[in-house]
Amino acid sequence: MGLTKQYLRFAASAVFGVIGSQKANIAYVTLRGGEKGRYVAVAACEHVFIWDVRKAEKVLILKGNKQEVTYLCPSPDGIHLAVGYEDGSIRIFSLLGGESNVSFNGHKSAVTVIRYDELGARLVSGAKDTDVIVWDVINECGLYRLKGHKDAITQALFLKNRNLLVTSSKDTFVKWWDLDTQHCFKTMVGHRSEVWGMVLLNEEKRIVTGSADSELRAWDITYLQENKEEGEPEVKKPKALLDDRDDQEEELDENPAERILSCQKAGSVLRDGRDRVVTMTTDLKSRMLACHGTDAILEVFHVLSEAEVKRRLEKRMKKAKKRAKSRDGKETAEELVERKLEDEIQRLTHIKASAKIRSVDCILFPTGELKVALLLQNNTVESYSLKTTERNPEGTKTARLTLSGHRTDVRTLAFSSDNIAVLSASAETVKIWNRSTLQVIRTMACDYALCSLFVPGDRQIVIGTKSGKIQIFDLASGSLLETTDAHNGALWSICLCPDQRGIVTGGADKTVKFWQFELVKDKESGQSKRLAVSHTRTLQLDEDVLCVRYSPDQRLLAASLLDCTVKVFYADTLKFFLSLYGHKLPVLCMDISHDSALIATGSADRNVKIWGLDFGDCHRSLFAHDDSVMFLQFVPKTHLFFTAGKDKKIKQWDADKFEHVQTLEGHHREVWCLAVSPSGDYVVSSAHDKSLRLWERTREPIILEEEKEMAREAEYEESLAKGDEPVVPGETQGEAGLAGKKTIETVKAAERIMEALELYREETRKLEEHSAACSAAGRKLPPPTMSPILVAFGNISPSQYVLDVIRKVRSSELEESLLVLPFSYVPDLLSLFNEFIRDGLEVELVCRCLFFLLRIHFGQITSSQMLLTVIDDLRKNTISRVRQIRDILGFNIAGLQFLQREIENKEDVTFFADATDRFEEKKRKRKKRERAILTVA
């Protein structure tokens, strides 16, 4: 057997450079002991960052897996944060420690909205797959799936004190759901385009929707059941502010069979923006309404209470009566003031952000201060504050998070010679990062950067720009030393000479230029010298130069041209040596190995070709990426190289054996560039998702055959999970369905249950054979040998082992695992359930499994004569055991209530009352008394 070449694995080390991803929203959160309005949660690719906006510090990272975060929703108690992901999964994180113990998997595509109910016990989620799912947070399981929308869900809201749900979608409909019967009882059709946002106001008696135009449509909600209980006649509110074009829509919405509530259009409020609504949100008590479109303007509206509206109407009525009296000499009945929507929803102010707004969240304090957090499209978070009690309030910017990331995509990266500093440059700034701490050391304004490098000595950096200039910066002072006009077009590539005395540049003006480093006197100081470059030679070519590279021995110079070829010249005489042709599209990147023997080229045709530099022969052509290869670089002192592509992947290759070594997956958009450290231990990459990622070489070896086998297994598992959903017997394809979905975890859980039942059957057979043998022999024989699995679990019984396996299945995956289970295992399970319930073992879990199996296998179970006695025993034992548990719970609740009353009577305090509210009330009364004393004095 020949020797195998060993490779070391590169693993993801950190994600930095991203402040807030554009896929998800922003949300205010409250950490332990923290004040409200200070901490915000934003998505950062697959993670969630908690920022302290006052200190501009990252205080907590909620780590995800691979999928990108698409929605955030804090719980009503502020302790948890529900996070939705691109693959349709939902995880609930604890903000106290950052752990995630609850996860739900039911959607087939990205989660678009998550909402808690008032108590935080239920969760509703909507996704691009058009389904709405209600989850039980306490029991950690799905309740049901609501189907009816035809496009992505944009908003979902629980109604307080009513078991109702309202959802909006891009299919232009707003649907009302009765969660008791799990069906849609009303569909609002008064929108011409997608409904992008929706809020409830006026104690849930008004709903406001935002769509693709400049109108915010308001609808009055009348709860018919309340009117019937109170004995009042059903009175429809007058329609105000309706124009002729809405008459037809209103007629469509009228339903004579309304039984729970009715919605009548109350009018519309015009926004300043002409584009679609992106976000609509309110504060906790729905006193402030904030909305924005695709521009940089946030509009804030004040929602007046009923008492405030009445006061305003009374003032207007008095003025109208005075005007009528002065005009006619007497009051006229025609001067009655009509109530309008503008009297209830008043425009307060607008806030102009520094860039386009992606998402908004707000908090209203009892003092009347409104705090607003904005996530902007340019990787920035801004915080504003305004006093709502003022007549003309103006938003004041209180914080801005910009230092920890670029405003635009990073197009070039470079490592310093000591592997410590990392350079990243974008269209507006160049930043120097500390690799170990991931903190920004320097931020310098520059032109649109396309290429960069550290000058030998690591005290200066050189940037090549889109306008064709060379910019030299000093790192100690962070100042721009010199700007040189190098090319007439974009400066696409820059390369350091192997002797470290100069650089060579290639640009869109079809030239390759050579530059020499030199020290010149600084005109400002007159004494000190600064670094500059002087032009020495020019190589004129026939096409635009996309990339230039020196061979490490400084013998050859390679330049890739727009005509899909790579021209190789002698570096000293610039005489033509080789032409490497074979790519179908231009070569965007290339690199030469440390021994000057190989040159690897990556092209927009998705291929990487490895060439020999001695004769220019193509050693191998590799299909590298599913999209354009954007960057390629050899690992120093090896024939291994990395490639980055627009398919979001980074791959490592062996140029000797032409093997694919490893794929680094993590970026969620096109990867623009990467840089390998001089030691070869680190790789840093940048992508269109605004993130920079650091990859570190570990000591773990890579065996290629094992990697291929693992890739095949992962592909098989993925195809298995994406297979057809099992058909549920008795379930009609109506509005409601099961909440979960088939995943590889549910399949594995079902397999574990089947293996446990097989073991139970085998052990039961052994015991029966042993009993029969003892009866035949007339004496007691040695017991049969137990299974090694049962011995490993502490000599437990086979039935106890089955219960342990079922107990270990995640609560959110239990129903789907039982659904996959073949019916041949169900009789044994029912017999075991009878035994468990009789002994009082995990009664709640067993009842949950029992009722689900009875529901989905009802026909086969009832038609089986063998299961009649088992079902009858189950009926008796289940009813008696559940009654017993219910009595115990009732006794405990009554005891706790008695203790509460005793403590309240003894201590003369309200038990479990909010101490903060009590303290604030006492403080307010004390200040009032002090003011009264001062007034008297």
Biggest alpha carbon distance in the chain? 122
With CA atoms as reference, report the closest residue to 211 among 271, 264, 265, 123: 271
Per DSSP (E only), the strands in 314-388 are 345-352, 357-364, 369-376, 380-387
Q: What is the pLDDT of residue 48?
A: 94
pLDDT of residue 336: 58
Q: Phi and psi (nearest 5°) for 849?
A: -65, -40
Range 756-794 burial, b when 16+ CB lie within 10 A, else e? bbebbeebeebeeeeeeeeeeeeeeeeeeeebeebeeee
| Beta-carbon contacts of residue 626 (< 8 Å; ≥ 6 apart) | 606, 645, 647, 649
Q: At what angle do helices 744-777 and 704-721 cross, to 10 degrees?
A: 90
User: Residue 7's closest CA among 703, 683, 636, 709?
Assistant: 703
Residues 6+ apart with CB under 8 A from 908: none
**Proportion of the chain in helix, strand, coil states, percent, rounded to 5:** 25, 40, 40
Tokens coding 584: 């179908």
For tokens 């909402």, what's the residue?
115
The pLDDT of residue 246 is 44
The phi and psi torsions of 478 (rounded to 5 degrees) equal: 70, 25
Residue 470: closest CA among 454, 447, 444? 447
CA distances from 88 to 44, 83, 920 (A): 17, 10, 43
Closest CA to 406 of 382, 379, 444: 379
pLDDT at 851: 86
Tokens of 496: 């350091």
Q: Helix, strand, or coil here: 244?
A: helix
What pairs with residue 445 in β-bridges? 429
Distance CA 297, CA 377 (A): 13
Q: What's the CA gap between 175 and 172, in Å, rounded?
A: 10
Q: Answer for the pair 493, 451: CB distance below 8 angstroms, yes or no.
A: yes
How far is residue 383's CA from residue 353's CA, in Å, rounded to a whole number?
A: 10
Query: Shortest CA distance to 509 belongs to which of 463, 558, 545?
Result: 545
pLDDT at residue 237 in the model:
42
Rounded to two decimals, what is the model's pTM?
A: 0.83
Q: Minimal CA–CA distance to 129: which of 741, 929, 766, 846?
A: 741
Burial of 440 (0-12, 13-18, 19+ CB in 10 A): middle
> Which pLDDT score, from 0 to 100, does residue 249 have?
42
The arrangement of strands across the sheet holding 618-623 comes to 587-592, 598-603, 607-612, 618-623
Residue 937 has a pLDDT of 52
Can you spell out the DSSP letters for 481-539? EEEEE--SS-EEEEEE-TTSSEEEEEETTSEEEEEEEEEEE-TTTSSSEEEEEEEEEEE
Q: Cβ contacts of residue 602 below 8 Å, gap of 6+?
A: 587, 588, 589, 590, 608, 624, 629, 630, 631, 632, 643
Q: Residue 757 has what pLDDT? A: 87
Joined together, the tokens standing for residue 829 give 């399970």
pLDDT score for 611: 93
Give the residue among 287, 160, 268 at the shortest CA–CA distance from 208: 268
Which among 418, 445, 446, 443 is positioned nearest to 433, based on CA atoms? 443
Exposure of 590 by Cβ count < 10 A (0-12 exposed, 13-18 middle, 19+ buried)? buried
Please tell me the predicted confidence (pLDDT) of residue 86: 92
Please give the Cα distance from 849 to 73 (Å, whole number).
Answer: 31
Strand 122-127 and strand 682-687: the pairing is unpaired
Q: Which two tokens stand for residue 297?
A: 């303007």
C-alpha count within 13 angstroms, C-beta hemisphere, residue 613: 26
Closest to 176 (Cα-Cα) out of 138, 141, 140, 209: 209
Task: Phi first, then psi: give them for residue 354, nearest 5 degrees.
Answer: -80, -10
Q: Residues in the chain, how many?
A: 937
Measure Cα distances from 452 to 385, 463, 534, 673, 898 in Å: 40, 4, 17, 11, 74
Sign of CA dihedral 245, 248, 253, 254: positive
Consecutive 10-residue runs of the chain (937 residues): their mean pLDDT?
Answer: 69 92 92 83 93 90 91 91 93 90 89 92 93 91 89 92 91 91 88 90 89 89 67 42 40 52 86 88 90 92 84 78 65 59 84 93 90 93 90 88 91 94 94 92 93 92 94 91 92 93 93 91 72 92 93 93 93 91 93 93 94 91 93 94 94 92 92 94 94 93 86 77 58 66 82 87 79 77 75 80 87 83 85 85 85 84 81 86 90 92 74 56 73 66
The predicted pLDDT at position 541 comes to 93
Token readout for 382 is: 């801004």
The pLDDT of residue 633: 95
Any idea what the Cα angle at residue 111 is, between residues 108 and 117, rounded to 5°? 120
